[in-house]
Amino acid sequence: MTLTFPNLSRSYDERGRRVRFWGYDGTFEINFFVEQRAFSRIDPSTKLDEAGFLNTFDRYRDRILKVASNAYSDRHRDAYTLVVADF
C-alpha cells in the first residue's frame, strides 16, 4: 500500500506545541506532527500562535505532506514528528 492523506483535518496540539494530521496506509492510520519550530523554516513570517501555525500548515500543505511521505517511506511507524531538519 501507499501512504495517502485523504483527511484534510489538522489540529493544533497546545500541550505538545505542534500541529497534528493523519495519513493512511491502507486501513492503518498514521499520526504525523509538525513541531512548532519547523514552521519558522517553512515560512519565517508564521505568527507564533494557533491560528498562525494552522494557516501556515494550510498554505504549505503539499510541501508538508511530501516531507511526511518521505519520512514514512524511510521507516514505517505509527507516529512521526517532523522537525526543522526535515524541511
Q: Is the dihedral of CA 52, 56, 57, 58 positive or negative?
A: positive
Domains and CATH numbers, the chain: 3-86 (3.30.160.140)
Query: Model's pTM, two decimal places?
Result: 0.91
Amino acid 73: pLDDT: 81
Q: Which of 22, 21, 29 lies closest to 56 in space, CA to CA?
A: 21
Secondary structure letter of residue 62 according to DSSP: H
Amino acid 25: pLDDT: 92
- β-pair partners for 21: 10, 32
Q: Taking the C-alpha atoms of 47, 80, 4 and 40 in order, what is their torsion angle to the nearest 10 degrees?
A: 20
4-25 pLDDT, tens digit per residue, is 999 999 999 999 999 999 999 9
Whether residue 48 contacts residue 10, with contact meaning beta carbons closer than 8 Å, is answered with no
27-53 pLDDT, tens digit per residue, is 899 999 999 999 999 999 999 999 999
